[in-house]
Chain A
Amino acid sequence: MKHEHLHARIRLTRSRAAVLKWEARQSTLAHGIWYRLRRLLTFSCELWAVDDAKMNELIASGFTVAPEGEGIEPSKRIVLLPSTHRERLAGGRPLPLGLRREVLAEPNLVLVLWEGNDVVTAVHDGQGAA
Chain B
Amino acid sequence: MKSWRSQAPERAVDPSGHLEDLEAFVAALPDYAIFLLDSDGRIRSWNAGAERIKGYQASEIIGRHLSEFYTAEDQAAGRPQQLLDIAASRGVVRDEGWRVRKDSTRFWAEVTLTALRNPDGTVRGFAKVTRDQTSKRLVEEGLRQSEEKFRLLLEGVKDYAIFMLDPMGRVASWNRGAELIKGYTADEIVGQHFGRFYPADDLARGKPDWELLQAVEQGQYEEEGWRLRKDGTRFWASVLITAVRNDRGELRGFAKVTRDLSERKRAREQLIQEQMSRARAEAVARRTGMLAELSQALMRPLDAADTLTRVAQVMTHHLADYCIVDLRAADGTLRRLATAHSNAEKEPLVAELRRSYPAERQPNYPTLVVFRTGAANLVREITEEMLVVAATSEDHLKLLRALNPCSHMIVPVRANDQIIGTLSLVSTRRDRLYDASDMVLAEDVAARAGLAIANAELFESERRARSAAEMLARAGAVLSASLDYAETLQSLANVVCPALADWCIIAMRQPDGRLANAAVAHADPAKVKWAFDLAERYPIDQDAPSGAAHVATTGEVEVYSSITDDMLVHAAKDEEHLRILRELGIRAGICVPVAASGRVLGALTLISAESKRVYDDWDVELAKELARRAAMAADNARLYEESRAAVRIRDDFIGIASHELRTPLSALRLHIQSMLRTATKESADERQITKLQSAMQQIDRQTRMINQLLDFSRLVAGRVELTLEEIDLAVLLQEVAQRFMDEAHRNKVQLVVATPPTLMGHWDLNVLDQIFTNLVSNAVKYGREHPVEITLAREGASAKVVVRDHGIGIAPADQERIFDRFERAVSSRNYGGFGLGLWITRRGVENLGGTITVKSAPGQGATFTIELPIEGKPKP
Q: Do A and B come from one complex?
A: no
Question: Could you tell me which A residues sit within 8 Å of B by CB distance?
Answer: none
